[in-house]
Structure 1
Amino acid sequence: MKNILAIILLISSISNAQYAVKGSMSPKIKSDWVILYKLEGTKQVFVNNTTIKTDSILVGGKKKAVGNFEIKLPASAKPGAYRARYRLEGAGFVDFFYNNENVSFIFNPDYPQEAIAFQESLENKLYNSYMKDISMAQQKLDSIQVAVLQDPSLDLKGYYQKTYHKVDVVQKKYNQEAKDKYIAPFVKASARSNPKEILTSANDYLSNIKNTFFDTLDFSNNVLINSSFLTNRILDYVFYINFSDDEVQQQILYKKSIETVLSKIKNDSYKKDIIQFLIEKFEDSKNIEIIDYLFENHYNKLPTGLQDQKFKAEKIALFAVEVGRIAPDFSWNENGRNLNLSTLNDADQYVVVFWSTACSHCLREIPKLYTYMKDKTTMKVIAFALEDDGFVWNTYKETNLQGWHNILGLKKWKNETAKTYQVYSTPTYLILDKNKKIIAKPNEFNDVLAFLDKI
């Protein structure tokens, strides 16, 4: 009976074992915190956090500051890909795998993934060794291929075959060593589909990369999905593999690459996450055409119950007043008539300016704009005044702004039109064409004049 109880207690202690993640960064950075996340699809799920402690070590007889941290994992922590973040932006995190073992590593916080060494964790050590070995072998194969593309007269077929075989040997070795381990799908998915014979045409070489890019990627594998692996590959394919210096061609390539990527994903929930992920990436460059394309051709075609209506509303509002958009409509009363921006038809171009009689910059620029616009017979100004009350504005516009469309926007910064147009300061300028499409959003008054001079 005692032996049975001992075994039960041993099993219980193993099943409830609490593991830790330890990191040592050199040099020490200013940040004094680390947050641990578990990666699930394109999301980061909070696990725990801790502070970075500063210690000193002797290097060449001199003291050097290093940052150390330790994060206890909950007993319920599941195997997966994890991220230790110590900066909000840029190279500010370390990704690693956890599979019921302690994980410890040292790294350079400015080059975390390139300069990391694992001291504990068999799985991470093995994966790191694989990445180093396969990268060296692959780089040698690529250098042979590039040399022939640069000089087709070179006879490197034998050398290529030998190196191709070496890449294959390295891959098979690690496939075997990683078998039944958590990292196995990552090792398998990292393999490149290299051509068996050396290629002498750059077009053939690039076509091979594009056509075989997804050969080893399994978009139904939950282990790969719940990591940064597939999202990084998608970014590479969309933004780097499919690249053109020509802006029109680049938009075409973006759309084609998006179609290719999304055709690989059969799970609607994961597809939704990837579409949202891509929308946010194109948000960085304000590529409205591609964002619209993603919504219209993919996101809106997902099952209705799966679509995140809050996400859609936020993005629609965020890009409502970007260049290329039709300006959001608003109405006002002018000389006893109700007017709407959308139906206004008295000019070929419109300058919309959000201003205020309490704004010193506005009081300097508005008179200059008024003088400039006197000779612009095909243009009209829509002056939207953000005020707490209309007392000063009413006198000012009657005296100084005759001939303009003058609108009083009460509640100032809380005015609904101002919020729709994302007006955070005055004056704010927009230039519209006859159809009320936004054709420019100049930041400075001189930029306004420069743009109008070109029309």
Structure 2
Amino acid sequence: MKKVYILSAVLTAFSLQAQFTVTVQASADFKDQDAILYTLNGSKDIIVTKEQSKNNTWTFKYPSNYMGMMKVYFPGSNNAVNFISENKNISVKLDIQNNKIKDVFYLDEANELMSKQQEGSQKKELILPALTQIKEYYKDNTEFGKALHAEIGRLTGTSSSVDAANHPFISYYNSNYSKFLSNSSDPAKKVNPDDIINFLDKSNDMLESSSLLQPLLMSYLNSGGNTNVGGSVDKLLDRLKVETPRGQTVLSELIDIFDTYQMDEFKNKYLGLAKDLKCTINDRLASTLKSNANVQIGAAFPNYKFQAPVNTNAKSLYDVKADKKIIIFWSSTCSHCESELPKLLEKYNDLKSKNIQVVALSLDVDKNSYSTKIAAFPWINDTELRGWKSTYVDTYNIHATPTYFILDANNKIINKPDHVGDVLEYFKLK
């Protein structure tokens, strides 16, 4: 019993030392009870803790210093609200309609300021060009002309400066977004690759939590064109030192980028580099290595426990018995799926006659859209209705839909077709 008391005391002390709290309020008609708090590492959401509602309020205690993007996700309804942390208490109120977030009210100073600045930036980028274009059609002495002139003047004006001492993350985010990622047509403001390398090398820890890292890497790769991608990446990694935490996180992000855009030559090259590292691997790169290892040819495809399966009594993927299985990751809103899956449907009876099972795991979020679509698909269907937040996205390293795997009777991966035509050709049905 003594050990239990000691552990209890430690947990109590841990909670009392929270650096700041995150409070999210919702109206009484919001049905969700569970909510998950996330921080950010590069482009990956990192789970911090899970809490249950108390009078439609969720209170999270964060135990350490954190400046960067955060998120609270409601898995029951696939709702999410994004905000920032500057290591101070955060307060958010949600306006709910039909169990979906209709509007978000930021009640703490930092998020209220960030929200206003983001809104102003979006209007400047999206609305100002249109207003400027139609201005010539209205005289300045008309009521609408005066209002148009005033709005153009307001949006053209420089954004209000942010005190970096009081709002370090907002200052960091705004200044670096403006410098590196804004769509400026001014040639003088064009950033060259060396500027990005210097920033990635010298930036503080807010880089990983800012959501800027992946867009910066995309900008860096695009700035060098397609002629020497490998040389550009090698130059960047040499500067950052791939054994360092920053270098490993950047390496992980690059592997994911190459995976997403099917640049297999570069993905395999830098995945090999990651595998050969002899140093301690950080969590970000370790997760990339694990998800890729899960889906290598010859690997045992990780089991998946079905949530609400259709057309089967099986409880999990491994419970489905067949000589071979075709696993499909798809979505009812995916245009490529729309064109490819009917071709598989045409050959479904031929597949069944060969004792080949089809298991489709959906990345849908809308139950009606999903249910309508699967009515035409007689194979095994299942979904978490969490879209790209579905658990199988990371487990099976999914970056696009549709994605196909072919398994043998022992759930070993024997083929990874790129398209439905490759699936049919593998089974000699094309």
The alignment's TM-score, normalised by the length of structure 1, stands at: 0.47
For the pair shown, the structure with the greater C-alpha radius of gyration is 1
The alignment's TM-score, normalised by the length of structure 2, stands at: 0.49
Q: Which has the higher contact order (CA 8 A, sep 6+)?
A: 2
